[in-house]
Amino acid sequence: MRQIQLKRNQIAAYNEYPFDLPVIRNLHTLEFHPKVTYIVGENGMGKSTLMESIAVSWGFNPEGGTMNFTFSTRATHSNLYEHIQLVKGTRRPKDGFFFRAESYYNLATTIDELDREPSYGPPIKDSYGGKSLHEQSHGESFFSTFVHRFGGNGLYILDEPEAALSPLRQMAMLTRIHELVQQNSQFIIATHSPILMAYPDAQIFNLTSEGIEIQTLEETDHFLIMKEFLNNKDKMIQQLFENSNADD
């Protein structure tokens, strides 16, 4: 995927969801890195809504999975996908996955339900390591998908994949991303994790109320705040608690 373009001439007003989100008000064109693109920013900027619209426009299920999944637990996705234009490259991916942390439970449940139905093929769970995702810890089930289901030469859209991963697993995830990039894969990742943002050959887009900024890892609030906390833990905790007492 090369870029997305917002069809601004089709939007009547920007005072209703999802067009009132900061990312949409300021969006014209967003060009993706051929390897890894990060979408970062504070809560409420519209990261997940943007990721959802990109995935649905490509043909993925709004709740996640491959393009073969059509389940719907509750149709809450916005119509933003109808207002963006995808600009695709000449190379077509052979694999793909929309990983959405908030609805991953629904995906795991659907896989179990489908595997209980009569089938002439192997169980779907075999593509995820051979064990039900519900029979693993939250973090293990996430990582099973990354390791076993992501096959390379693919487009992988990940919305907060770090949600159930320990710092050690996040570093292992960086290794897995690198393995798949070397197999001609492209990633678009929304994350709050400075560890996951550390892939060196990548682009970071920071969504703010003022617009979309290109930043390095070291310029992001995520990195700066975490670094400051680790370097001055006691001082920061004292200030936080003092501010809390003042508010009371």
226 and 184 fall within a common domain: no
pLDDT in tens, 91-104: 889 999 999 998 88
Predicted TM-score of the model (pTM): 0.92
Q: What are all long-range contacts of 164-171, with beta carbons under 8 Å and residues at least 24 apart?
A: 164/101, 164/137, 164/138, 164/139, 165/139, 166/139, 167/195, 169/139, 169/142, 169/143, 170/195, 170/196, 171/195
Tokens read off for 89: 């490259």
Asked if residue 89 and residue 73 are part of one domain, the reply reads yes
What are the tens digits of pLDDT across the range 155-191? Answer: 999 999 999 999 999 999 999 999 999 999 999 999 9
Regarding whether 246 and 133 lie in a shared domain, the answer is: no
Q: What is the pLDDT of residues 17-27, one digit of tens each?
A: 888 888 888 88
pLDDT (0 to 100) of residue 247: 66
Same structural domain, 225 and 159: no
Based on the domain organization, do 61 and 101 belong to the same domain?
yes
pLDDT at 203: 98
In which domain, by residue range, is 238 found? 219-248
| Low-confidence residues in the chain, pLDDT < 70 | 72-77, 247-248
